[in-house]
Amino acid sequence: MTTILAYLDPGSSSMIVQMLLGGVAAAGVALKLYWRRFLKLLHIRKDDPEEGLYPTEADTGGQSSSRVNGTPHADAEQRPVESGKR
């Protein structure tokens, strides 16, 4: 996937809504995503690290990268990359 973030914060939940509303094609994506989350919950599957973008669990002292951020509206991780969108 691309590693670019837009200047507008799309909101994580708003992205999920799109996936849930996107019809048959989106249903497959949603099923896959939630299945993977379920597996992660059972510790059967690990996060897919993305090169150079996300700190690994080792980097953050065991803290998941998804918990580095604050709320979608005060996402400290996203803002600094505005000037390096692509």
Residue ranges that bind another protein, judged by CB under 8 A = 1-2, 4-23, 25-26, 28-30, 32-33, 36-37, 48, 50, 53-54, 65-72, 75, 77-78, 82-83, 85-86
CB of 43 to another protein, least distance (A): 17
DSSP assignment of the chain: ------SS---HHHHHHHHHHSHHHHHHHHHHHHHHHHHHHTTSS-----TTTS--TTTTTT--GGGSS--GGG-TTTGGGGGG--
CB of 41 to another protein, least distance (A): 13
Measured from the CB atom, is 23 or 61 closer to another protein?
A: 23
Give residue 28's Cα distance to chain centre. Answer: 18
Measured from the CB atom, is 43 or 86 closer to another protein?
A: 86
CB of 10 to another protein, least distance (A): 5
